[in-house]
Structure 1
């Protein structure tokens, strides 16, 4: 594997994310020899129903990065309108879509965006429409279920 410009940029961004990580986020490589696969642990933000939870996420960078967006998946199950309820935990959000991604975007911005949607879901961009409906129309029920899932799936370190 040659060191492409993309690889250098990824290494630099990895350094930024490890040395000065966004609040409540820890980043490490799955394998030190592979800068394209990151393991992320995100603490549920205090002001969200995910508070107290520790969520594992996987960030994958395409070899064409930064010209193609990263993909990010929740490895920990989470009850959220913007994350699929299946075992993939996929997210499809604004800046991560190939038609909206811009090469100047940085991974730290992606991580902050994910953290922000835990606080304030983007219900207009929902993957799970049922969960989005509940968030809109029965917020107490949504919060209760989100807390139960957090306790059940995300309470371990």
Structure 2
């Protein structure tokens, strides 16, 4: 780990823990590893995921902030931008290597992740079948998303 990287991560973690993004709790998965964060994100009230509690893992590469973090949903979710293959990979523009900039902060990543739950981006989907349902039969998308939220993200 580069010395500056550890300082920056410690600073960002401190800022997030003292003033967490709305509906989120952020902790280290293991106190001895600054690079792996555990996040519990409440489904935003204005989204089909309201009432759910979603577990995410955020992994910071050794050369952070020069490379973007990787965010994965550990809680299964019915969403066009999050894979439901057990990995929970997320498609978020700013996390692409070619779009990531070192001044970007983790809090921005977390806020964008939350916003993605409010406003999915079906044109940049990981799950194209879910994106099709979202675009062509929103009522059906909403029903399934709420069912999955109840099944996988409530009371867990």
TM-score (norm 1): 0.97
| Structure 2 match to 1:151 | 150
| Structure 2 match to 1:15 | 14
The answer on whether the counterparts of 2:78 and 2:144 sit within 8 Å (CA) in structure 1 is: yes
| Structure 2 match to 1:34 | 33
| Structure 1 match to 2:90 | 91
TM-superposed CA distance for 1:74, in Å, is 0.2
TM-superposed CA distance for 1:154, in Å, is 0.1
Mapping for residues 15-94 of structure 1, pairs under 5 Å? 15-94=14-93
SS at match of 1:84: coil
TM-superposed CA distance for 1:134, in Å, is 0.6
SS at match of 2:87: coil
SS at match of 1:68: coil
Q: How many residues align?
A: 156
TM-superposed CA distance for 1:115, in Å, is 0.2
SS at match of 2:13: helix
TM-superposed CA distance for 1:92, in Å, is 2.4
SS at match of 2:48: coil
Residues 94-142 of structure 1, C-alpha deviations (whole Å, 9 max, x = no match): 0000000000000000000000000000111100001011101100000
| Structure 1 match to 2:129 | 130
Once residues 14 and 39 of structure 1 are traced to their aligned partners in structure 2, the CA distance between those partners, rounded to angstroms, is: 11
Q: CA RMSD in A?
A: 0.9
Once residues 107 and 10 of structure 2 are traced to their aligned partners in structure 1, the CA distance between those partners, rounded to angstroms, is: 13
5+ residue gaps, structure 2, are: none
Once residues 156 and 76 of structure 1 are traced to their aligned partners in structure 2, the CA distance between those partners, rounded to angstroms, is: 12
5+ residue gaps, structure 1, are: none
TM-score (norm 2): 0.98
Once residues 43 and 87 of structure 1 are traced to their aligned partners in structure 2, the CA distance between those partners, rounded to angstroms, is: 20
